[in-house]
Structure 1
């Protein structure tokens, strides 16, 4: 069957066999478009300090620059802010709209694509971004929450889904299997024992298994792609080394040609001087005997032929030297163009995935103007906050801000220590 996917920018047509699942079609489409990061989980919590910025960036990305004539009714027709956010602050809806419009206007220099990128950077920095949660128990029967992410498995306390307490990267997990409510995870570290978790139902175990299996496969795929990139880099380095050797050989050959050319020119000049001397002798030797004069004329003819031969050799070597120089210039130009094209491709690809290892991504850096606006908004909202309306999430989020914490710092902290220690921590919760 034919599958056609239309976007704003282009249309993609794919061939798929009947009964192909939506997931398989999605993966096929991502592969054809070169998309490597394919998972999506939605959002569950975001602090009020981010809400206005997101609304501003989303409207900028969708509608472009703010215009009173075309955009005034957008804010009134659409529900932009959750009721939870508006109740927490001593601001009416008009105040919220004014703040959003002011920030929207400040970003008029951004095009839609840049606004979308800034929006995505903000979203990816959220603690709950890309996390699927499951209620589980450990061997002791303690209720905890398991978070399945693209980076691995996180363990959370029931009252805090923003800050995990234990984390297992995918590189530390060898195998997953389940039977009804019982779920077993086998670490890669042979010295670490398997740890068991219990779900609320067999259906949840199945859902959790396939969620983890999918993310594990995607992590492995990223690792494969990463290794391919490393191999390509090695091949490129070997190719560059070979090109360098060939260039050095060409330069050496050119130097030899130039040296031989110089020697030939010196020889030609010497022979010309000798011929000139012989011609002068001939001019001055009118009184010589006929035999002597004939001998001198023969020597002059031989010298003249020698001069012509050397001159042809000089011209030949001169042409060869010029040819080598032109080849070297063309090769240098070709390599420069290849490097330029490679840099363009690398720029378009931006940042390639690091693979499913123990390393962590860095916090996505938004532009300085947006960062300053976010700080200003946080200060303003702090003065209008109704503390009694705060949820548990809001309190945890506010503490994280005060302590300067972000999700990658938290993950780096809780990944310390070996797998054995972290399995024991989980078992003893």
Structure 2
């Protein structure tokens, strides 16, 4: 007993002293690897995101965000403008890097490294069941993924190798799918990794739920629905089928009150007044999450610049309506154009 106590005491002495005012963060990257970082205790979410992107060499950081688990929900976005110490209590702080705003045209991205991360994000969506596709599309995407990671095919890829590279969800991987992937993989010979990644994304962007953040809700008739928010606007699904699609230009207002989420639609040429559609969410927290997701997507893809939502005096509850959007898509493209101009000059 005494010997064990002496050993523990000596180990404590040998361990390096913990730097005051710093916290350890465990970040799950999009490709499945884990990155551990030390950050200041007073650091904000945006500073941690910048550190992760800097480690990966990603400059187009505004497409990305950090997720954490909260009250049983594993996909809560970290507020980039809030101190991490107010979000996390226990150490290490565990977060997950994810693509928050999926670009509608992956070819418009300025850097190959951003497209690589986007490909891994789509792969993770397929593996975790947020995105579905046919067997033929699985085979096509899997062949481009193998081309990007392994280069030209020298021999057939086995099922265990496909599982290791996560070319498709394990439940969907069959002998037929393996054969189709190998046939298409052989046809990709000569493509460099950047070309294979772009071909992967050009096919992935055609999937109905590409880049959509899904939220469960009910309509006025108490029918279960799924509300999807993406670059093009807001879509309503029932039993996996698209019921309605509302482009951003069609929407005039997005609001919520407790569990009620409301969309106001611009009147058409045959309507005299605006139309309102209301949906019921399971809880106020879920409703607020959907509202925030909708407003942030509208801001990123439609507005010229990000808007700061100020805290409303005398109403402290409204102070939580901060938005984690630092630059919009237009600002990103303008900055990229300016950089190209400076290089050519």
TM score, norm. by length of structure 2: 0.51
Aligned to 1:405: none
1:341 aligned onto 2:331: no
Show structure 2 runs of 5+ residues with no match. Answer: 1-21, 31-38, 65-99, 103-120, 306-327
Query: C-alpha offsets along residues 358-391 of structure 1, whole Å, 9 cap, x if unaligned?
Result: xxxxxxxxxxxxxxxxxxxxxxxxxxxxxxxxxx
Aligned to 2:161: 75
Aligned counterparts of 1:18 and 1:214: Cα–Cα separation in 2:
27
1:109 aligned onto 2:190: yes
Show structure 1 runs of 5+ residues with no match. Answer: 8-15, 87-91, 236-337, 343-429
Counterpart of 1:26 (choices 39, 49, 52) is 49
Contact 2:159 2:178 in 1 (8 A): no
Query: C-alpha offsets along residues 206-236 of structure 1, whole Å, 9 cap, x if unaligned?
Result: 2212222321221245676548979x99x9x
Contact 1:75 1:97 in 2 (8 A): no
Query: C-alpha offsets along residues 306-348 of structure 1, whole Å, 9 cap, x if unaligned?
Result: xxxxxxxxxxxxxxxxxxxxxxxxxxxxxxxx89938xxxxxx
Aligned counterparts of 1:52 and 1:206: Cα–Cα separation in 2:
38
Counterpart of 1:182 (choices 251, 254, 260) is 260
Aligned counterparts of 1:73 and 1:187: Cα–Cα separation in 2:
49
Rate the CA distance shift 1:104–1:142 in 2: closer, same or farther, 3 A: closer
Aligned to 1:422: none
Contact 1:30 1:36 in 2 (8 A): no
Between 1 and 2, higher relative CO (CA 8 Å, sep ≥ 6) is seen in 1
Contact 2:265 2:275 in 1 (8 A): yes
Shift of 1:182: 1.4
Counterpart of 1:149 (choices 212, 227, 230) is 230
Aligned counterparts of 2:163 and 2:260: Cα–Cα separation in 1:
49
TM score, norm. by length of structure 1: 0.42
Aligned counterparts of 2:51 and 2:252: Cα–Cα separation in 1:
27
Contact 1:57 1:116 in 2 (8 A): yes
Residues 242-321 of structure 1 mapped to structure 2, 5 A cutoff: none
Residues 101-140 of structure 1 mapped to structure 2, 5 A cutoff: 101-140=182-221
Q: Secondary structure at the match of 2:263?
A: strand
Rate the CA distance shift 1:206–1:57 in 2: closer, same or farther, 3 A: same
User: Normalized per residue, which structure has more strand?
Assistant: 2
> What is the total number of aligned residue pairs between the two structures?
225
Contact 2:152 2:188 in 1 (8 A): yes
Residues 182-201 of structure 1 mapped to structure 2, 5 A cutoff: 182-187=260-265, 191-201=273-283
1:60 aligned onto 2:86: no
Aligned counterparts of 1:72 and 1:184: Cα–Cα separation in 2:
50
Aligned to 1:306: none
Aligned counterparts of 1:215 and 1:100: Cα–Cα separation in 2:
35
Rate the CA distance shift 1:228–1:126 in 2: closer, same or farther, 3 A: closer
Rate the CA distance shift 1:81–1:136 in 2: closer, same or farther, 3 A: closer
Aligned counterparts of 1:27 and 1:173: Cα–Cα separation in 2:
33
Q: Secondary structure at the match of 1:33?
A: coil
Aligned to 2:110: none
Shift of 1:109: 0.2
Contact 1:151 1:170 in 2 (8 A): yes
Query: C-alpha offsets along residues 102-146 of structure 1, whole Å, 9 cap, x if unaligned?
Result: 322221200111111111111111011111222322334343322
Q: Secondary structure at the match of 2:288?
A: helix
Contact 2:212 2:228 in 1 (8 A): yes
Rate the CA distance shift 1:339–1:206 in 2: closer, same or farther, 3 A: closer
Contact 1:66 1:104 in 2 (8 A): yes
Shift of 1:36: 5.7
Aligned to 1:46: 133
Q: Secondary structure at the match of 2:294?
A: helix
Rate the CA distance shift 1:117–1:227 in 2: closer, same or farther, 3 A: closer
Rg larger in structure = 1
Aligned counterparts of 1:180 and 1:56: Cα–Cα separation in 2:
46
